[in-house]
Amino acid sequence: MNLDDMYRETILDHNQMPRNKGTLARPTHTVGLLNPTCGDSIRIDVLIEDGKVADIRFDGQGCAISMASASMLTQAVKGRTVDEALNLARDFKQFLLGQDPNRDLGELAALEGVSHFPSRVKCATLAHNALQKALSEGGGEPPR
Ligand code: ZN
């Protein structure tokens, strides 16, 4: 299996069996974002306790890239501190813009191919933008 196939498998796997899909009963932070270019819509619920991401869920609908990216992101930031989660979101966005993240992005690296398609970068970064917005602004009522 070459790297491309492995990456494709990872994206398909997260798309078919999304991790942390759903909503939280009592999120401390929640944000909904739309990507009108593709029609993706994502809501992120986060529960911050003691400065850490104690729990996180995403909900919504969209293309395989947006859903797989959200699934991988929730998995990657669970248990991390707020700063670590924000740094990961920032590094991933830089990575998709072709910059070297200087760190291991874990499964999120499977989305590398997206960087060759600027129109799809918005799909892959939608959940990351929602997380950044939620953690920096605290959210508010998400769109239903
Ligand atoms: Zn999309």
pLDDT in tens, 57-115: 999 999 999 999 999 999 999 999 999 999 999 999 999 988 887 788 999 999 999 99
C-alpha 49 to ligand 1 mean position (Å)? 31
CA 67 to chain centre: 8
Apex 130 CA angle, 45 and 29, nearest 5: 35
pLDDT in tens, 121-136: 999 999 999 999 999 8
C-alpha 39 to ligand 1 mean position (Å)? 6
At residue 144 the predicted structure's pLDDT band, cuts being 50, 70 and 90, is very low
At residue 47 the predicted structure's pLDDT band, cuts being 50, 70 and 90, is very high
Is residue 142 a part of any domain in this protein? no
pTM of the full predicted structure?
Answer: 0.91
pLDDT in tens, 27-38: 999 999 999 999
C-alpha 15 to ligand 1 mean position (Å)? 12
Structural domain tally of the chain?
1
Is residue 85 a part of any domain in this protein? yes
Going through the chain in order, the beta strands assigned E by DSSP cover 29-35, 40-49, 52-61
Is residue 144 a part of any domain in this protein? no
C-alpha 129 to ligand 1 mean position (Å)? 14
C-alpha 120 to ligand 1 mean position (Å)? 6
Is residue 118 a part of any domain in this protein? yes
Can you give the CATH number for the domain in which 105 is found? Answer: 3.90.1010.10
Record the tokens describing residue 26, joined without a space: 């009592």
Is residue 107 a part of any domain in this protein? yes
Is residue 143 a part of any domain in this protein? no
Is residue 59 a part of any domain in this protein? yes
Mean pLDDT of the 2-6 span:
80
C-alpha 64 to ligand 1 mean position (Å)? 7
Is residue 96 a part of any domain in this protein? yes
Instruction: Please tell me the predicted confidence (pLDDT) of residue 142.
Output: 45
Residues ≥6 apart with Cβ < 8 Å to 96: 111, 112, 114, 115, 121, 124, 125
Parent domain of 114: 3-137
